Amino acid sequence: MPQQDPFEVRKLGTVSRPSPLPLSSEDGDQLFNFVDDSEKILFNTSLGEYSRSRSEGESLPAVEKAGPRRNIFFNPEETTAAIVTCGGLCPGINNVIRSLVMGLHYFYGVKEIIGIPYGYQGLAPDNPHPYRYLTPEKVRDIHQFGGTILGSSRGAQKVSDMVDTLVRLEVDMLFTIGGDGTLKGAEDIGKEIEKRGLKISVIGIPKTIDNDIDLIDKSFGFETSFDVASPIVRDAHNEAAGAFNGIAIVKLMGRDSGFIAASAAMSMPVVNFVLVPELPFQLEGEKGFLKLLEKRLKAKRHAVIVVAEGAGQHLFEEASAVQDASGNIKHRDIGILLKDRIGEHFKQQGTEVTIKYIDPSYIIRSAPANASDSIFCNRLAYQAVHGAMAGKTRFVVGLLHNQLVYLPISSVVNRRKKIDLEGEFWFAALQSTGQPFRMG
């Protein structure tokens, strides 16, 4: 019995309608070519894995290349699209909304585009907020601002109710912009749609500032996050260096993954310690963090510490079991704990220190996208539109090996991506800070 392809993207039905895009299928005519479903990108590009698969007669897992198809599923003139943004804020959300509207309207001629207010709450039957009907004129300048013009929320609504709303609004395709919880919700909506035999496409555009969506190279907003954090770290260093035994602690976002903290530390290489959720550390002991900090102050008389919000949760006496509306565990404030414990440690020694604690998280996540993320948001949105018009559903568009691809939503929500402590990225962070591989 043939094994099911784990990266197969579902389709709503046969695609037989010619695309309105004036593209080509021939090389050498200086026109972009339509992308065929058979065009795949290898999931694992390791030569060793390729050799092993060939020797064992196995096929290599591959994913669909994103892009416009020669034939599409929907009649653009009769198509209604909807856009919803969920979860926490992240640089670039408005860029994605804008590009979705522009792509649907100008590429395919879709005129009815509904903005769902305040996340999945806007799909509830008792939603009190008016829907926003989006046009190119209404979204023309929104990319210049952070946040989301549609509003956002956390929390689960009843799936059947949300599908009822989509049916009532006569929506043909739903674009969901959000992180792990949002994508799981989109998958559940897609399953209910399939169960009812409806022809509604569900598309996910991964949005997480923490860069913790599995399988894909990066998510939008991530580069802006450490770009904005970098000068903050620089100024924190100036504060620390300006005082005798000055210590600056900068807490950055990163609930379960420390990509922002590590990237910020490398982008502004004045950081002496970067603490991430992936690697537990001890405060006390000869090889613990406090002793290492003590040695740093004796040598240089100042220190800069960057810590991810989810780091060091094991140091609290009782683990927090409180969850937010999305079901995420609410972490205790590691920044305050570090500030207090560092202060107590040096006070007991009779050593005077000056500690500055900085938490710019909400400033960073509300910032507008930088130039690199703006380009990335545009590309993600356009490819999401092409996939939706071709009748694909329950998929996300993402970057894999520097190429945009379509992946089933189910394949990226099984676990959260974390820093590989044996990988080159973390090794580079350790080389940048000069800290030991382990603390304690």
In this predicted model, what pLDDT tens digit does every residue of 202-218 receive, in sequence order?
999 999 999 999 999 99
**Residue 278 pLDDT:** 97
Question: E strand or H helix at 300, and its extent?
Answer: helix 289-300
Is 155 assigned to a binding site? yes
Is 141 assigned to a binding site? no
Structure tokens at 238: 């100036």
pLDDT band of residue 414 (cuts 50, 70, 90) is: very high
Q: Mean pLDDT throughout 384-400?
A: 98
Q: Mean pLDDT throughout 347-362?
A: 96
pLDDT band of residue 319 (cuts 50, 70, 90) is: low
pLDDT band of residue 1 (cuts 50, 70, 90) is: very low
**Residue 424 pLDDT:** 97
Domain boundaries for CATH 3.40.50.460 within the chain: 223-366+421-433
Name the fold adopted by 51-219+369-400: Rossmann fold (3.40.50)
Helices 424-433 and 259-267: angle between axes, nearest 10 degrees: 50
Phi-psi region at 100: left, alpha or beta (left = phi > 0; alpha = psi -120 to 50): alpha
Give a three-class secondary structure readout of 132-196: EECCHHHHCCHHHCCCCCCCCCCCCCCHHHHHHHHHHCCCCEEEEEECHHHHHHHHHHHHHHHHH
Is 286 assigned to a binding site? no
pLDDT band of residue 67 (cuts 50, 70, 90) is: very high
**Residue 185 pLDDT:** 97
**Residue 354 pLDDT:** 98
For domain 223-366+421-433, the CATH architecture is 3-Layer(aba) Sandwich (3.40)
Confidence (pTM) = 0.94
CA angle 349, 350, 355 (to 5 degrees): 90
Say if residue 140's pLDDT is above 90. yes
210 is annotated as an active-site residue: yes
**Residue 324 pLDDT:** 62
Q: Which of 192, 228, 217, 188 shows the shortest CA–CA distance to 204?
A: 188
Is 433 assigned to a binding site? no
Distance CA 307, CA 334 (A): 8
Distance CA 386, CA 198 (A): 20
User: Considering 141, 161, 172, 210, which one is annotated as catalytic?
Assistant: 210
Beta carbons of 134 and 111 less than 8 angstroms apart: no
Say if residue 231's pLDDT is above 80. yes
Q: Mean pLDDT throughout 126-139?
A: 96
Write the single-letter amino acid at 311.
A
Is 309 assigned to a binding site? yes
**What whole-number percentage of the chain has pLDDT above 90?**
91
Beta carbons of 60 and 43 less than 8 angstroms apart: yes
**Residue 155 pLDDT:** 79
SS3 208: coil
Provide the CB-side half-sphere exposure for 290 (13 A, CA).
19
Is 179 assigned to a binding site? yes
Is 180 assigned to a binding site? yes
Beta carbons of 303 and 296 less than 8 angstroms apart: yes
